[in-house]
A and B are shown apart, each in its own frame.
Chain A
Amino acid sequence: MSNRTVVPFGPQHPVLPEPIHLDLVLEDELVVEAIPSIGFIHRGLEKLVEKKDFIEFVYVAERICGICSFIHGQTYCQGIEELMKIQVPDRALFLRTIWGEMSRIHSHTLWLGLMADAFGFESLFMHSWRIRERLLDIIEETTGGRVIFGSCKIGGVRRDINSEVLQRIQGELNQMEKEMKEIANVFIKDKSVKNRLVGIGVLSRSEALMLGAVGPMLRASGVSQDMRKLGYAAYKNVEFEPITSEDGDSYARCVVRIKEVFQSFDIIRQCIQKIPAGPVDIKVTGNPSGEFFSRTEQPRGEVVYYLKANGTKNLERMRVRTPTFSNIPSIVKVIPGSQLADIPVLLLTIDPCISCTER
């Protein structure tokens, strides 16, 4: 046996937008073990439910994560609405779906850019983010914020989008979709991209199920599971099928995310066609009581909000299980056996979001 070396990876590393630490045990260039440690960015947001009342807490929930901000707020609101038996108007549900899918596109294009950067394709990175920038402008125009939308509230949404604006957005999205196709072509077909991704970090179907992987990570291993299929918000009214791939390697995860971008464009299109007229919120009175698990699909996978209320203004307990947290066991499992040079790319394929993992 050759000598073993331990290389610390992170918490500050060029590919990592956020701090996570891995101790990589190497035999020459081969990684034989990865020991993760988290806890660099814990902010105690769950504890805040005791200070902020349940309506104010929407603002905190939105700030758990910068990228899936809207869906965090939405999941929280859905949980409270379920506890209080609030019937949210249909138009609000459609608007939530539209914004939710916009944030999925914005998250996935961000990831594609970071990925391109990680394997050293700088211009591809810039072009992915150029497309994302247009979407951020649309989001800013409709909600007022670029990443923290602040448009979801208990009982509905805080802003409406009128039909003219919706039609114009549709036109812009069609244009973006066309540009996205060009970029996607590079990710899917280019030789240099494939060299870095194909066959790296294979997670088999049974391993993915056993380790509780979620989201694109799970779907890339051939499991067709998507929380949107639960039919929350307006997903019961639109047609889509979870996107899967059989290979389970980094390339498969990349392809699944690219296809999901186009799927999101399609869902927004369907929503804009089907959106009903009517109010966008209803008045909320009283306090929640009871327990509920609220589950939705974020760009990174399934998020679970556990809410426990006792009939007062403040919730008794709130707990979030974020997708990155569920995906860490899988990534630790696939790292051994890879080359050291592949670790940055491999780690990025789970789309790590450490801030929401540690809250």
Chain B
Amino acid sequence: MSIFTFWKTILKSLISKPATLMYPFIPRKFYPNTRGSIKNKIEACIYCGLCQRKCPTTAIVVSKPDKKWQIDIMRCVTCNACVDVCPTKCLSMENQYSTPVAKE
């Protein structure tokens, strides 16, 4: 049993930079793989509806006749399933999280 086992860590913390970021002045860096939010390049979309069928949270609604593609980002859990199946690769996963909103 000993005391003062923490002194080494304390000394190190005193002389090193803080481990935390001064957010929001220093923004956090994201990785290319980070699953942040879904983006659709709508010009390339053929409204096939595959993404709607594969989405586990039914966040996407596609309507072929009136050429509509809608996503409810509050339901989306960024699982990447829709991006994997999209035949034209118009869907992509951005590595930035969607920006906060005040209203749904």
Contact = CB atoms under 8 A, between A and B. Distances in A.
B40 interface: no
A43 interface: no
B79 to A, nearest CB: 5
Contacts of A56: 54, 56, 81
Residue among A124, A145, A148 with most chain B CB within 10 A? A145
A227 to B, nearest CB: 27
Interface string A127-158: 10010010001001111110010100000001
Interface stretch (A86-94, A187-195, A306-314): A187-195
Contact of B5 (A143, A159, A185): A185
Given A60-B56, A158-B80, A150 B35 contact: yes
B33 interface: yes
Contact of B34 (A59, A144, A158): A144
B1 A141 contact: no
B1 A194 contact: yes
Contact of A59 (B3, B13, B79, B93): B79
B99 interface: no
A141 B2 CA distance: 39
Interface in B1-38: 1-3, 5-6, 8-10, 13, 19, 31, 33-35
B5 A140 contact: no
B77 interface: yes
Contacts of A144: 31, 33-35, 80, 93
Interface in B43-86: 54, 56, 77-81, 84
Nearest to B93: A144
A59 B81 contact: yes
A275 B95 CA distance: 28
Contacts of A166: none
A185 B8 CA distance: 11
A72 B77 CA distance: 17
A252 to B, nearest CB: 15
Contacts of B13: 127
A140 B97 CA distance: 13
Contacts of A150: 35, 78-80
B9 A182 contact: yes
A138 B33 CA distance: 11
Contacts of B56: 52, 56, 59-60
Given A56-B81, A141-B33, A148-B77, 10 more contacts: A123-B6, A124-B6, A141-B31, A144-B31, A144-B93, A182-B9, A190-B5, A191-B1, A191-B2, A191-B3
Interface of B: 1-3, 5-6, 8-10, 13, 19, 31, 33-35, 54, 56, 77-81, 84, 93
